[in-house]
Structure 1
Amino acid sequence: MKTTRLLPLMLCLCVGSALADTPIDLRHAASARTHLEISNVKGAVSVIGWDRPELQVKGQLGEGALPLAITGTAPSLSLKVEPVGRGSWLDWSRDKTMGPTTLIVHLPRSASVDVRVVSATLSIDGIDGGAIAVKTVSGKTRINARTPLLKVDSVSGGIELAGHAQDADLQTVSGDILAPVLGDKARLQTVSGEIQAAGGPWRSFSLSTVSGDVRLKGALAEGGNLGIDSMSGDVQLQLPPDTSASLRASTFSGDLRSDFGKPAQADHGPGSTLETRIGGGAGNIAIETFSGDVRIRNAD
């Protein structure tokens, strides 16, 4: 009798376990012109560029998600993990019962991708030529690609960039930014995250932080502009000896030191300013902090 009563319960548990690990195996024709949108709340997303004219999706679908499908009309395709009984993806982000989904996506190297995740980790590898856009809340983002246009918005998740981004726009609230291969145009912004970046030569570079420290190394293009603004975060900038720019730096209460020119102390109260010309003075470099220290170094 006891065994008979337990059989339905055991069957339900087995079915639930199977649903929690539903394998994914999808394929769709794709090309270098393909633009793929991906959304996932929990779990992980891995995007990999390859040399086939095909979009392939593998992984595991989380419990409580609708069957996954590739939708849209070429060249615009969509891959969205959606919950059962919810009207929108944003509604699902508040569902604590949703199981994590793992997506492993292969697509042509020159394709473009637009990824939205909440607490899912994200990695993008092997993209070469396509634009990349990412929106994430707490998941870590790692990108190893060559792209003409990169835009990443994150709240607490860190951003790690390898490869090369010709035009990069990276923003976080508390997540760190590691970007050693920035191209000739970049915009970096954080509230409390640490920024370590390098690259160039930059035609246009802007960086803004509230309390996060900054370490930046790179060259300025002929006639380029570089601007750094910090509230309490410390700033360290390394420039090559052949830099050509007008340099202006100031801090209200922080310490200012430079291998180029001699900072002047304020006549009344704390703070320092520096105005000097490096080389031919073709470009412009402006650094301003409130209480953060500033170090400008010769990278030779």
Structure 2
Amino acid sequence: MNQERKKILELVQKGKLSAQEAIILLEALEEDGEKNAPVSETLTTEPIQSEHTSFEEKEFEFKTEEKKQEEKTNKEDSFYTQLESAGEKIFDFVNNALNKIKHFDFQFNQSVDVPHTFQQAVTGIERIELDVANGPVRLVTWDQPEVRIECQAKVYRSEDREDARNYFLDNTVFSVEKEMLIFATQSKWMRVETVAYIPKENYKKISVRIFNGGITGEQLEAKYLTIKTTNGKVELSNIEGEKFDIDTVNGQIKLSNSNALQLEAETVNGAIDAIGDFESVDLQSFNGNISCTLTENNTNKFEAKAVTGNIKLIVPGNSSVDGDVRSNLGNYKLELDGIDVLHEKKEIIQKQVKFKRTGSDDHVIHVLADTKTGSVNIGEAKSTVV
């Protein structure tokens, strides 16, 4: 429960949840904890006045200790059961709230469609910033020396087409200056489907921020790539850069055929699937599975953490691995040839294995995979993935 409280507070600090939303979630979590609180296991006995300890007293003490140990195990099992139950209730609440946001346009009978295209010739752009309040974004590179942003807007609370068009233009920013492209729509009273065509260049930074909507992109090159969405899926392919920072509250993260020095991806409610060549990998999902395939033997560190999801890692064939795998209620499976187990723990509520595998070269992949209620699977590719 403390972990869930911490996660909610982190979301508030990052600005992904309002204080009011956090209070509602914390109250729901507190109510669930009170309903499922375990009965006190304290056992008190009156001191027995006697000159010696009888066989019956020793037997009673033994059974008392045995009972305490059993109740301790049951209590720990109950804790993780409560963790799953409370987590499900929280995400049911979050999903319901986000689905209302997702289907925002159904709340209004009247809306006006406004198609509009921004286009401008550009040279020397190094930074791109897209900030959309409501609507999906697609980012595409092309061979033209200009920026083209196609918008299909739906303006609510409006009946006149000209008024709707003026409202869209008044609440939309399109700017190209000082080597930076900025496109932003911040009004919650319109939904804008955006397709951004940008010149095929190696950018210093690409940043996309969406409140309600997914992001898709392909064939992008940027030193720093930052993607953040509150409610929506992130799907990227053939991306190259130094550092990728991908973050979503409710939605799946899918990254394929890409390479970067550093990959960080986090989702609260959704799965993560990454395929590519990365030197450092940090993946986290509170409620969802994590899957990663390393296509080249260049990774120094792989770290994945989940609460209710499974973790699957595929490393290149014949690579050297130094691994630490942990799971509380799940299990683990190591499908690697020639591993040496250094430490192994197989308790009911805590499982851990530390191992090493010496491959064909001296490069070592350091792996940490930790999940609370899911399972961990680590295998190797039989041939290099292209």
Identity of aligned residues (%): 18
Cα gap change, 1:203 to 1:139, in 2 (>3 Å): same
Q: Which one has the largest radius of gyration?
A: 2
Query: How far did 1:104 drift?
Result: 4.4
Higher strand fraction: Structure 1 or Structure 2? Answer: 1
Comparing 232-241 and 222-231, the one that deviates more: 222-231
Match of 1:124 in 2: none
Task: Name the residue aligned to 2:180.
Answer: 76
* Paired residues for 1:116-135 under 5 Å: 129=203, 131-135=205-209
Report if the CA contact (8 A) 1:165-1:181 is conserved. no
Aligned position for 1:211:
287
RMSD: 2.9
Alpha-carbon offset, residue 36 of structure 1: 4.0
Whether the 8 Å CA contact 2:176–2:182 is kept in 1: the answer is yes
Pick the aligned partner of 1:56 from 136, 142, 148.
148
* Counterpart pick for 2:370 among 269, 288, 292: 288
- Offset of 1:177 from its aligned partner? 1.0
Q: Say whether residues 1:224 and 2:300 are aligned partners.
A: yes
1:257/1:164 CA distance change after superposition, 3 Å:
same
Which amino acid in the other structure matches residue 133 of structure 1? S
Q: Deviations over 1:142-192 (max 9, x none)?
A: 111232322111222011111123332111222011112232321111122
Answering whether residue 113 of structure 2 is matched by residue 24 of structure 1, we say no
* Alignment correspondent of 1:170: 246
Question: Which residue in 2 is equivalent to 1:142?
Answer: 216
State whether structure 2 residue 125 is matched by structure 1 residue 33: yes
CA distance, structure 2, for counterparts of residue 181 and residue 269 of structure 1: 39
> Equivalents in 2 of 1:209, 1:58: separation in Å?
33
The 2-side partners of 1:105 and 1:267 are apart by 52
Q: 1:156 aligns with which of 225, 231, 234?
A: 231
SS for the counterpart of 2:249 is coil
Structure with more of its chain in helix, by fraction: 2
One-letter amino acid matched to 2:214: K
Q: Distance in 1 between matches of 2:175 and 2:240?
A: 29
- Distance in 2, Cα, partners of 1:187 & 1:69: 29
3-state secondary structure, aligned to 1:66: helix
**Which segment drifts farther, 54-63 or 270-279?**
54-63
Following TM superposition, by how much is the alpha carbon of 1:103 offset from its aligned partner in structure 2, in angstroms?
4.3
Using a 3 Å threshold, how does the CA distance of structure 1 residues 131 and 249 change in structure 2: closer, same or farther? Answer: same
Provide the rounded CA distance (Å) in 2 between the counterparts of 1:47 and 1:191: 24
Among 336, 353, 362, the alignment partner of 1:274 is 353
- Whether contact under 8 Å (2:233, 2:253) holds in the other structure is yes
- Distance in 1 between the 2:256 and 2:145 partners? 31
CA distance in structure 2 between the partners assigned to 1:209 and 1:104 by the alignment: 28
The separation in 1 between residues aligned to 2:176 and 2:370, in whole angstroms, is 47
AA at the equivalent of 1:165:
E
Gaps of 5+ in 1: 1-18, 82-88, 111-127
Counterparts in 2 of 1:281 and 1:78: CA distance versus 1, 3 Å: closer
Match among 200, 207, 212 for residue 109 of structure 1 = 200
**1:53-108 deviations in whole A, cap 9, x for unaligned?**
33334445542323566435342343344xxxxxxx3xx33xxxx34344444332
- Tell me, yes or no, if the aligned pair for 1:262 and 1:274 is still in contact at 8 Å: no
Unmatched runs of 5 consecutive residues or more in structure 2? 1-110, 156-163
